[in-house]
Structure 1
């Protein structure tokens, strides 16, 4: 039987206990598309400006929830370059 002892290196990254870089914000949730959001209501939870993607620079990464009180596990993200959303 093995126990999860934090003082023994188990080969995982979590063992290293590295704190996230506060200047490098990211959203750890499933990605959706703007097309899938047409005619749906949702809450904008957060966004990141000036994200570079394979489609170009200066994109926004937007984090949403369909209900304000949904848990973080229900959040979605999408990338946009839409001037109507950005400005």
Structure 2
């Protein structure tokens, strides 16, 4: 069974609350990543090394406290269909 890394479920909202941050933008800035990167991690995408390191440094956590290994869900995304030619 294939496994993937992700940020522990519910961790980012808890960290935001602990620091009293009012927005995703504020948390992303504190961690040193874009809001898009933060959003992807919250949705279960594999976290980037920059995100993981930023969380560890900003909150004094180890990578093992930030990340978890979970079974990969679903099937791989199907290949994109070629776009029709305009000619």
TM-score range, shorter chain: under 0.3
Name the TM-score, length of structure 1 as normaliser: 0.25
Greater share of helix residues, 1 or 2?
2
Name the TM-score, length of structure 2 as normaliser: 0.25
Higher relative contact order (CA 8 A, sep 6+): 2
Greater share of strand residues, 1 or 2?
1
